[in-house]
Chain A
């Protein structure tokens, strides 16, 4: 991956894979209510893909300079399995971990690229993933850690 378009294509594919992952999990979900929630997750990932497609088409700009709050919740949680009997708490952990890994990937790539438009795009993608991570971490704080 050397060009901006290649990077964006990769990121778009990753979002599609995430949407497919949650849709597949929704189809296998055993717990009541989880099917709908996982389909919501899939829709969220689809919206991320749409946003990146808009970036590639020049209709939307990434904002690498924007500060994104890091609640650091997923940083200290243990990995869980995405099984058919997954609970809402575990589904959120899976989602947070995936977004964190993506954030880390784009951040690391950006750090290795000299000042350029490509670096800005990578930093912008990292910020996008940080926003996605914040979305799921906020949900975890609100729904799972509501008493804490």
Chain B
């Protein structure tokens, strides 16, 4: 089965080798970024989260957002990162970002942030975590197979049993759903397990729990 590693998992995986104590960190937000920010915060870093839209627009569970705030992560909303610059000290980086105004999408989509170039800011940090979302890297799959697998916008389109158009390929997790959270990936795994059982034993009904 295919799945992707989230920035949070990568951050957790490297935690043993890193020390964020007394460091200032900025987290440029994407999905799951609250979790990305919490890990260094718990290790003592002063963490700022920059997010282009409003808290209501964050692709995260509201509990995760509240937890990160309660743990001391500072969330700056409607803040668009523009450029990473050299800082005065060699071991630091500066981040230029601008305030954003939300404007309505004339086609009815969600409001879009528009950079206000007269309201730009530059802050200096020890570390920038670029948590700008993730997707599956499917380049290893030959082109002819990708077409058969029905991939749209970087995601597989499986059936209810996570089965693709290729007989022996089942998919789940971020590369096959929009929720991009662990519990959905586990659910996909359950569906796929039933699907694989049905595939191997077509005469039995494994659709029941």
Contacts and interface: CB of A to CB of B under 8 A. Distances in A.
Contact of A76 (B82, B109, B138, B143): B82
A32 B138 CA distance: 10
A55 interface: no
Given A72-B114, A148-B132, A148-B133, A31 B143 contact: yes
A32 B51 contact: no
Given A69-B103, A72-B117, A147-B31, A31 B151 contact: no
Interface stretch (A4-12, A39-47, A101-109, A135-143): A135-143
Contacts of A70: 114
Interface of B: 28-31, 51-53, 59, 82-83, 103, 105-107, 109, 112, 114-115, 117, 132-133, 138-139, 141, 143, 146-147, 151-154
Shortest Cβ-Cβ A-B pairs, 5 listed: A32-B146, A147-B133, A147-B31, A147-B30, A72-B115
Judged by DSSP, the binding face of B is loop
A142 B138 CA distance: 21
Contacts of A30: 143
B4 to A, nearest CB: 13
Is the interface on chain A under 10, 10 to 19, 20 to 34, or 35 or more residues?
Answer: 10 to 19
Given A30-B143, A31-B146, A148-B28, 11 more contacts: A31-B143, A69-B106, A69-B112, A69-B114, A70-B114, A71-B114, A72-B114, A75-B115, A145-B52, A147-B133, A148-B30
B103 A33 contact: no
A42 B117 CA distance: 32
Contacts of A88: 153-154
B141 to A, nearest CB: 8
9 contacts: A33-B147, A69-B106, A72-B114, A88-B154, A138-B112, A141-B112, A145-B132, A148-B51, A148-B53
B112 to A, nearest CB: 5
A127 to B, nearest CB: 15
Contacts of B82: 76
A146 interface: yes
Contacts of B52: 145, 148
